[in-house]
Amino acid sequence: MPVDRDVELDELYREIILDHYRNPRNRGSLEDPSTSGEGDNPLCGDEVKLDVAIQGDQVAAVRFLGRGCSISQASASMLTQAIMGLSLDEVETLFESFKGMMYGSDQVDAESLGDLEALQGVRKFPVRVKCATLAWNVLQEALEQHRKAKT
Amino acid sequence: MFDVASIREDFPILQRQVHGKPLVYLDNAATTQKPRAVIEALVHFYEHHNANIHRAIHALGEEATAAYEETRAKVARFVNAPRPECIVFTRNATESINLVAYAWGRQNVGPGDEIVLTEMEHHSNLVPWQRLAQETGATVKYIGVTDEGTLALNDLSSFIGERTKLVAVTHVSNAMGTINPVEQLVAAAHRRGAVAVVDGAQSAPHMPVDVQALDCDFYAFSAHKMLGPTGVGVLYGRYELLDAMQPFLSGGEMIRRVRLDGANWNDVPWKFEAGTPNIADVIAFSAALDYLSALGMANVRAHEEELTAYALRRLRQREELIIYGPLDASRRGGVVSFNYPDIHPHDVGTILDREGVAIRAGHHCAQPLMNRFGVAGTVRASFYIYNTAEEVDALLQGIEKVRAFFGDAGR
């Protein structure tokens, strides 16, 4: 059936987001992760679990498992691609830019976010912002644990 | 005769548009819209009668007190309570249930006692009892739910036994619409000398309710789910039980006399209404009860049953949808609950919202029931007096659009 176009809806569900939802990247778990984290949005029932392998100061591998809405799962899939090979400082910077984009800061250089920029449309749907940021909060918690374990 | 077109004219909000489309409001189990008469009653009170109740020796105070107490009497008639004193005003159904859990529960439940609930309870009829059990050393037992979404009552005697002190059950499931045989559960509780609490949040607004025929000891509901303002809940309690109970909250109004070495309590029901109550909203609730009584609750039920049957028929035509709860509208309230096998309810909710269709997507504050069915949540459409078959059609169009939008996304 023909769908009359709704621009904001198309922005929310950009093709690249639906693609990540249909074909999640780096789905699974690691046998010997340096750190792991899991979290959920009790209100929606979105769940994300992340395993991260860190070598030296760099993200060497990352896998995710989860269930939930398209935004939460696509965001987790995109995250795994975005942080591969980055240093922990770079991950931090990326997270700040991502949060800036999701919470409406004008000073974010969208290009530095790569594919993640596609999640920008979620901003117009305040109740869904939590879905997009879930995986990132899980990552932050996992890295925080990693830092604590090292010191 | 039930004239939906003229009913709709009484609800100003139904004129508005959402995202450029006419509002199709199908989230009535969460809260209903308000008719002009209720909104005007609220304004009228503040413009003409505003005063505190039960103390002022002046005209406004007397008028406000009379209107407040008249509403209590009207509520009593609405659910056929034997006398107005059996009606306690609270903030909402949740507070009504908490009142029983604290004021009756802490006095009457002890170690080794059993509290019987069901797996389909709203959190508001679940968490207060879990806390009561934790604090008193009692145990909670849960009557299970069948695949059809009804209570598994075949071995009821294994749940309700000699140690049972209290049975608390929802009259109508907020998540799946199932109408429960509460008379049977109340009778089973009484045979064992247990007290029976009925969560009426989804029944009082939608069908004729007679608390004496149900024979329950407590019955809780909320004004805002039946055309009334937010911030008003009702607890019906059997008079002897209320009278024997200690207060819940304490302070002004609930006392008879206060000395430095103690106080004694006001009569039922004022003993349970500490502090200045929600006077204006209680009084405006009166207009909501008038509105429903003029329609006739049997007619309200018939209208919703017809809409629900139509919605179920249309939903079943889309074979891929998973429908929860009984498929027979005569056994369910005005609620339909369903899922696409591969699309999360929140994605469905967002797309429907863009069509102007307001539904609820999520766990409906009934997480144990969602776990029972292995889902994070469902899409729920719930009907009321102003909904039409055309709005059910709009829901179905939106649902088709969801599929078109997602393609075979998650398969």
**pTM, to two decimals:** 0.93
Query: Least CA distance to B344: which residue of chain A?
Result: A69
Q: Is A71 on the interface with B (CB under 8 A)?
A: yes
Domain ranges of chain B: 4-28+296-406, 39-293
Residue B184 in tokens: 């049977």
Nearest to B409 among A3, A6, A18 (CB): A18
- B235 neighbors B99 (Cβ within 8 angstroms): yes
Average pLDDT of the residues in B65-84 = 98
The dihedral over CA atoms of B368, B373, B379, B381, expressed in degrees to the nearest 10, equals: -80
Domain B4-28+296-406 identical in fold to domain B39-293: no
Q: Is B260 on the interface with A (CB under 8 A)?
A: no
Once rounded to an integer, what is the mean pLDDT over residues B242-250?
Answer: 96
Mean pLDDT of chain B: 96
For residues B75 and B87, give the distance between their C-alpha atoms in angstroms, rounded to a whole number: 7
Among chain A residues, the shortest Cα distance to B378 is held by: A44
Cβ–Cβ < 8 Å for A51, A76: no
Share of chain B above pLDDT 70, in %: 99
* B354 part of contact set with chain A, CB < 8 Å: yes
Place of tokens 């505190």: B52
Contacts of B351 in chain A (CB under 8 A): 9
Q: Report pLDDT for A1.
A: 46
Out of A1, A69, A128, closest to residue B404 by CB = A1
The DSSP 8-state label assigned to residue B316 in this structure reads H
Residues from chain B contacting residue A68 (CB–CB below 8 Å): 344, 376
Residue A19's closest chain B neighbor by CA? B409
State the Cα–Cα distance between residues B116 and B192, nearest whole angstrom: 12
Closest to B151 measured CA to CA, from B116, B127, B124, B123: B116
A43 touches B: beta carbon within 8 Å: yes
Q: Which two tokens stand for residue A32?
A: 């010997």
Q: Where are the beta strands (DSSP E) in chain A?
A: 35-41, 46-55, 58-67
Q: Which residues of A touch B405 (CB under 8 A)?
A: 3, 9, 13
pLDDT of residue B1: 67
Catalytic residue chosen out of the listed positions B287, B365, B366, B395? B365
Q: What is the ipTM of this complex?
A: 0.86
User: Is it the case that residue B149 has pLDDT exceeding 60?
Assistant: yes
Q: Does domain B4-28+296-406 have CATH number 3.40.190.10?
A: no
Task: Give contacts of A3 with chain B, Cβ < 8 Å.
Answer: 401, 404-405
Within an 8 Å CB–CB cutoff, is residue A68 touching chain B?
yes
User: What's the average model confidence in pLDDT over B158-177?
Assistant: 97
Whether B46 contacts B280, CB under 8 Å: yes
Within an 8 Å CB–CB cutoff, is residue A7 touching chain B? no
Sheet holding B218-222, edge to edge: B87-90, B233-237, B218-222, B195-199, B164-170, B114-118, B139-143
Residue type, B267: D
Give the nearest partner residue to A3 out of B343, B350, B401, using CB atoms: B401
- The 10s digit of each residue's pLDDT in B75-113 is 999 999 999 999 999 999 999 999 999 999 999 999 999
What are the average pLDDT values for consecutive 10-residue runs of chain A, which has 151 residues? 71 89 95 95 87 96 95 96 95 92 75 84 90 96 92 77
Q: Which CATH architecture has domain B39-293?
A: 3-Layer(aba) Sandwich (3.40)
User: What is the pLDDT, as a whole number, of residue A106?
Assistant: 64
Average pLDDT over residues B326-355: 96
Identify the structural domains of chain A with CATH numbers, from first to last. Answer: 7-150 (3.90.1010.10)
Collapsing DSSP to helix, strand or coil, B114 comes out as: strand
In chain B, whose CA is at the least distance from the CA of A6? B354
Query: B346, A125: Cβ pair inside 8 Å?
Result: no
Say how far apart CA B327 and CA B309 lie, in whole Å.
Answer: 8
| B86 assigned to active site | no
Minimal C-alpha gap between B320 and chain A (Å): 17
Which pLDDT does position A64 carry in this prediction?
Answer: 98
B410 in contact with chain A, both atoms CB, cutoff 8 A: yes
Question: Quick check: B373 contacting A, CB < 8 Å?
Answer: no
Choice among A101-110, B6-15, B237-246, B387-396 with the minimum mean pLDDT? A101-110
> How close A8 gets to chain B, by Cα (Å)?
9
What residues of chain A lie within 8 A of the CB of B27, using their CB? none
CA pair distance B148, B10, nearest whole angstrom: 37
- In the prediction, which pLDDT does B410 show? 47
